[in-house]
Amino acid sequence: MANTTKNEILIQYWDKSVSTLATRAVNKISEPQQERHRLYALLAMAATHYFWNGDKRGKNGRYPMNVPVTANSSKYLKGDYLGHNILALAVDFDGHIIDFEMNHNLIYNSSAEHAEARLIKRIFSLASLADTWKFEVSGHDQNDYNTFRDVSIYTTLESCSQCSGVMALAQVKEVIYLQTDNGMYLIGNILRNLTQGTKLQAPNPIDGTEISLPYFSQLNEAFDAFCKTVSESKPFFIPTDPNEKVDASKSVTSFLCTESAYRIFEAAKEELGNYLSGKTPLRFPDYQPSRSVTNLHGKSITTESTMTNKAVIKEIASFYSYIQINGRRATPHR
């Protein structure tokens, strides 16, 4: 087909196979850095577990594959399902947790209220106010959109095209995802390749295997098992009203309501708890990532993050308490 674009990077891929565009090199991440990533990944999973609600189709019916939702729990707004069990977390270079968000599709009756996009918009809007959880805006020029240049986003599910686009525009450094979403056709890889070397480079995708997170393959395998199991005779949801249809779709967000998914998030929560209590010692407690930055004189200098992995544990403990008291993103804003 004739070349219909003037985009120079896209032209390079024009006559190549789709796999060339959708494939990226494996990230070689050092063990100390993997440990650091895993701690935040565990926090994202533990927080998802905390706000868990499996009642995707409302309360008038049965969910044979789910654990029951505690109807009177305040964190669920009396059991209402506000969005899918998907959470995103933003962390800066030093290791400070900037903020988190959850999927809110249901409460807004929208298909676009995803965790990552909500998180980016939230931080952009709060960055000027300095009115969020310990986010230090000093050193950031609010007008040149540098807010996310050294920010890692941890998301429990691989990002869609909307969120990948929003994160690319925000110049997020990297996105660490904890489960594959085959419905999203490797858009993160494709965008990364198509923006290589440009000013608006899309975030570097990192999957759970690259940080040695066992829950990544567990979630992927459990989702495959769900797809093989769910059927009209073994539905995800059976409505009380016999005139309504049962839900037997092979949906990843339905899977993320089931007990098998819940147990994997629970295991992550317990692993995090063992780190926080000191029962599981860190292998690299004194590790501090470093980066090269250009100083005012145009010289490249190396700086270290202010927080060691040991300090990250403290940060996570504080944040984990915060979300359970004030950070109620799974309820309407208040």
Q: How many CB atoms lie within 10 A of CB 90?
A: 26
Other beta carbons less than 10 A from residue 38's beta carbon = 22
Buried b (16+ CB within 10 A) or exposed e, 192-227: bbbbeeeeebbbbbbbbebbebebbebbbebbeebe
CA distances from 206 to 103, 136, 155, 196, 284 (A): 21, 26, 10, 16, 21
Site string for Zn ion, 198-227 (x = CB under 5 A): ------------------------------
Q: By C-alpha distance, which of 94, 60, 40, 78 is closest to 313? A: 40
> Does residue 163 interact with Zn ion by CB under 5 A?
yes
The answer to the question of residue 118 lying near Zn ion (CB under 5 A) is no
DSSP code of residue 101: E
User: Of 116 and 271, which CB lies nearer to Zn ion in the complex structure?
Assistant: 116
| Of 106, 97, 90, the residue nearest 332 (C-alpha) | 106
What's the min distance (Å) between Cβ of 39 and Zn ion?
24
Shortest reach from residue 162's CB to Zn ion, in Å:
5
104 binds Zn ion (CB under 5 A): no
Binding Zn ion by CB under 5 A: which of 84, 96, 114, 329? 114
For residue 91, state whether it binds Zn ion (rule: CB under 5 A): no
Name the minimum Å distance from CB 253 to Zn ion. 11
State in angstroms the smallest separation of the CB of 42 from Zn ion.
22
Number of residues that bind Zn ion (CB under 5 A): 4
Nearest 5 degrees, angle CA 119-CA 317-CA 268?
75
Q: Which of 162/204 has CB closer to Zn ion?
A: 162
Look-up of token digits 């998030």: 265
Q: How far is the CB of 117 from Zn ion (least distance, A)?
A: 6
Three-class SS state of 301: strand
- 39/45 with CB nearer Zn ion: 45
Residue 44 is a binding residue for Zn ion (CB under 5 A): no
Stretch that binds Zn ion, among 16-24, 54-62, 153-161, 187-195 (CB under 5 A): 153-161
What are the residues binding Zn ion (CB under 5 A)?
114, 160, 162-163
